[in-house]
Amino acid sequence: MKYFSLKANQDVRLSEAVQVTSEITSTEAYVSNEVRTVDLRFVDGTVKEFALYQNVPNPFESKTIIQFDLPEAAKATLTVFDQTGKVVKEIVGDYSAGSNQVELRRSDINGSGMLYYRLESGDYSAAKKMVIID
């Protein structure tokens, strides 16, 4: 199952403003040559757990975005380190409950190739890999 997020820029119920139809093209998805239906499910958007997502794009040349979810407003530390464990960038901030993101620029990071990033907030911690290409 694939997911995507929408955020309204004015007061509206997304369930009333967004729909999937076959008006222009068939509403179907393909997974390993199997046809599947497409439907929308609307949730309240409340984040109930800690999550760290893969940076996008990955690999990257000039900049990348790292998204994460916090169940409550808190201080968080994003640490980027190389394969030897040497810290190459650390970002500390106070983040809101819900979805958050950090932009990393190539110019902020001294290194290339395979790097790792870890997000820590309170009792929560998660790590991912990323690749910087020259």
CA 78 to chain centre: 14
What is the token pair recorded at 71? 């169940």
pLDDT (tens place) for every residue of the chain, 134 residues total = 455 666 778 877 766 777 767 777 776 777 777 777 666 665 555 667 899 999 999 999 999 999 999 999 999 999 999 999 999 999 999 999 989 999 999 998 877 899 999 999 999 999 999 999 97
C-alpha 75/C-alpha 23 separation (Å) is 47
What is the token pair recorded at 92? 């500390």
The architecture (CATH level 2) of 51-132 comes to Sandwich (2.60)
pLDDT of amino acid 47: 65
Backbone angles phi, psi at 107, to 5 degrees: -65, -20
Tracing tokens 């819900």 back to the chain, one arrives at 98
Per-domain boundaries in the chain: 51-132
